């Protein structure tokens, strides 16, 4: 969608460090590159500048809210929010104010 809209500089934030590592490293799973990684690498070769950053899942709540909101839409077109919904405003406030959020940590 971003390519179709002719954006030339894009920043992508993703909470999967493993996926980002697979995209940039020559990682193979059982001798094969996963199809998602292959498709992302193909998109990165197009004539544009894409920066992929890792973000913690707990810091990604705004994006999660927007993704869930988009599912409720009846179309796949670009939708511009003129004003932030109240639920999203609270998430922005929590993010900007540095509200303490629990983090999921795997102990091994």
66-93 per-position pLDDT tens digit = 888 888 777 666 777 888 889 988 888 8
Q: Per-domain residue ranges for the chain?
A: 9-54, 57-97
pLDDT of residue 5: 87
The answer, yes or no, to whether residue 9 has pLDDT greater than 90, is: yes
24-72 per-position pLDDT tens digit = 987 777 878 889 999 999 999 999 999 999 988 777 788 888 888 888 7
DSSP string, the chain: -TTTTT-SEEEEEES-HHHHHHHHTT--BTTB--HHHHHHHHHHTSSSEEEEEE--GGGGHHHHHHHHHHHTSSS-S----SS--HHHHHHHHHHHHT----------
pLDDT of residue 104: 63
């Amino acid at each position: 969608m971003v390519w179709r809209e002719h954006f030339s500089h894009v920043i992508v934030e993703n909470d999967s460090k493993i996926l980002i590592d697979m995209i940039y490293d020559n990682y193979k799973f059982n001798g094969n590159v996963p199809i998602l990684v292959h498709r992302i690498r193909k998109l990165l070769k197009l004539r544009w500048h894409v920066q992929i950053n890792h973000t913690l899942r707990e810091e990604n709540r705004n994006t999660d809210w927007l993704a869930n909101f988009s599912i409720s839409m009846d179309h796949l077109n670009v939708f511009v929010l003129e004003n932030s919904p109240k639920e999203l405003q609270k998430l922005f406030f929590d993010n900007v104010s540095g509200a303490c959020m629990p983090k999921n940590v795997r102990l091994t």
